[in-house]
Amino acid sequence: MIFTETKLKGAFLIDIDPRNDNRGFFARAFCQKEFENHGLKPTIAQANVAFNHHRGTIRGMHFQFPPAAETKTVRCTRGAIVDIIVDLRPESPTYLQHIEVELTEDNHRAIYVPERFAHGYQVLRDNTETSYQVGEFYTPGSEGGLLYNDPRLALSWPLPLTVISEKDQAWQPLDNQETELKRRMSL
């Protein structure tokens, strides 16, 4: 695997290193030792799959508060997405900054999302599927979210919105929740 740290400390792009032959290729997509060697948490508490019917669908921006903060390794296994993560660590020099990356079935790329980051994506092709390896169990009382269109975040979604859940539309603007967010996300 090839690990590339992003401008957000602790967030990595993970590319496979395929071994090709006449059948196709074989590549490692996860290795506990390699994750540890890059300072990443290799714990997988849950493995999840999300299927999306329509291009333009947005899922996010989701996170869990400590002590149930979660890491995520996200890969698009069918179709394509633009994945966005936002640094929610109040002590970080990149607090509230974000990156976006295209994950596709063709590039086989994954993104490692550290604890105390928000995560979401927009579907670029109909019938897209993503796979998540999550480092903490889903804990409903610890979940939180940011509005996908919060002007303070200035997230750039490449397509017009077609589908979003009621829950994701109902997150509070950052201005209404930042004090509590900082308090709960502080170490």
Per-residue pLDDT reduced to its tens digit, 10-60: 999 999 999 999 999 999 999 999 999 999 999 999 999 999 999 999 999
Entry pTM: 0.95
Query: Token pair of 106, please?
Result: 């063709």
Give catalytic residues, as residue numbers.
Answer: 62, 132
The CATH number of 2-181 is which of 2.40.50.180, 2.60.120.10, 2.40.50.140, 3.90.260.10?
2.60.120.10
Per-residue pLDDT reduced to its tens digit, 91-116: 999 999 999 999 999 999 999 999 99
Mean pLDDT of 83-92: 98
> Does the pLDDT value for residue 187 go beyond 90?
no
From residue 138, alpha-carbon distances to 5, 29, 36, 135 in Å are: 26, 23, 23, 9
- What per-residue string of b and e applies to 107-143 under the rule 16 or more CB within 10 Å gives b? ebbbbbbbbbbbbbbbbbeeebbbbbbbbbeeeeebe
Mean pLDDT of 109-126: 98
Domain boundaries, the chain: 2-181
pLDDT of residue 9: 97
pLDDT of residue 44: 96
Is the distance from CB of 49 to CB of 76 less than 8 angstroms? no
